[in-house]
Amino acid sequence: MQNWLLPEFIEDILPPEAARIEGLRRQILELFTSWGYQQVTPPMVEYLHSLLTGAGHDLDLKTFKVVDQLTGQLMGIRADLSPQVARIDAHLLNALGVTRLCYAGTVLHTLPDGLMQAREFLQTGAELYGHSGIEADCEIQGLMLDSIRATGLTGLHLDLGHVGIFHALMNQTELEDEGQSCVFDAMRSKDPDALKVHANLLSSKVMDSLMALQTLYGGIDVIDQAKRLLPKNAIIERAFRDLEMLIQHAGNVSIGIDLADLHGYHYHSGVVFAVYAPGFSQPLARGGRYDRVGEIFGRARPATGFSMNLRALVRGLPPAREQSGILAPLISSDPVLCALIRELRTKGEVVIYDLPGHEETKDELACNRIIKRSERGYKVVPI
């Protein structure tokens, strides 16, 4: 094996893409701050039982395991920051009211999520704890859309769903976890024949409702269809009201409804949302409600949030262009020249010293201007 080869689905980020990712990370974190979200930075590794308890259980197969040489206990390299942020809210901050937290950090998966997908992500997101009402979900949805708009992307499409509807239907059965898992797999595939295989496990009323649920996706008129096809139930009726509220607060985006979307079913407890844009095959951001996420850490807090992978997002944008620089004379003690260089850099210009012995490779510096000395001092002129 060559020393310079990387593991499969692990990649280097080169200039100027690395600069664009970092600039976008800062821009989005500043946006989060302007909404009142405070940044936290969880550790890269934790004891495995902490990473995989509660909401993090579904991450087991995605998590790299290592042994702590100090204690001999099993640790995990984080595959998702959300459970860590929930731990911070529940166990460290102990706020009585609403807490708004945000983050940006690297996560690692054991396997890629699909073809041409990396295993290392720059996950960025925001979480709101302590408010169980739909108002919190509307806030998170708005922040998610603004975060995607900050990249310059337009033509956004918002997909909305509500896993609480499927939960409510399952509560009308006496199925154990294994039986519910079989029905869940059939529902997730949106395959009526696969669902009919489990007809003996369900009452005809629940079976008819699940068959109808598989067909309930499309435009916002799906909600009216669902009101006619699904049984009267307080939880289901509240789900409809929540979705209608999210639609009202979505702003200028196209909206799709998919009540059979069970993405994150074992993690989410209510509304779920995802943002798409032209030219991207995968959602740019996903989020939703996941109440009681902190229960395993000592406090069952209502919670809602979203996250996105900045690396994948930037990969779908047009190639970044390297910023043109200014070539400066050799490092000098001339205070006038030093002051000019500091001023240019303060204004955001790239100023590169012209080191001796590299005349043949100056083009690699990507400088289109140079600082020249004249009778009146120094000035910047085109090369």
| Domain residue limits, the chain | 1-154+277-322, 157-273, 325-382
What is the per-residue pLDDT across 111-150, written as a single tens digit (0 to 9) for each? 998 777 899 999 999 999 999 999 999 999 999 999 999 9
Interatomic CA distance for residues 82 and 61, integer angstroms: 16
Per-residue pLDDT, 54: 62
Q: The tokens of 88 are what?
A: 């911070």
pLDDT of residue 174: 84
CATH classification code of 1-154+277-322: 3.30.930.10
Are 172 and 246 contacting, i.e. CB atoms less than 8 angstroms apart?
no
pLDDT of amino acid 57: 60
CB atoms closer than 10 angstroms to residue 95: 15
**Threshold 0.85, pTM exceeds:** yes
Across the beta sheet with 367-374, the strand order is 350-353, 325-328, 367-374, 377-382
Return the amino acid letter for 372. K
Q: What is the pLDDT of residues 162-216, one digit of tens each?
A: 999 999 999 998 888 788 888 988 888 888 888 898 888 899 999 999 999 999 9
pLDDT confidence of residue 114: 77
Assign domain 157-273 one CATH number from 3.40.30.10, 3.30.1490.190, 3.30.70.920, 3.30.930.10: 3.30.930.10
Residue 331 is given by DSSP the state: P
What's the number of CA atoms in the CB half-sphere (13 Å) around residue 137? 29
pLDDT over 70 at 260, yes or no = yes
Runs of H (alpha helix) within 177-276: 177-188, 192-196, 204-213, 222-229, 234-248
What are the tens digits of pLDDT across the range 344-364?
A: 999 999 999 999 999 999 999
Task: State the pLDDT at residue 55.
Answer: 57
Is the pLDDT confidence value at 309 over 70? Answer: yes
Q: Say if residue 293's pLDDT is above 80.
A: no
The yes-or-no verdict on residue 302 having pLDDT over 70 is: yes
pLDDT at 56 over 70: no
Q: What is the pLDDT of residues 5-55, one digit of tens each?
A: 999 999 999 999 999 999 999 999 999 999 999 999 999 999 998 888 765
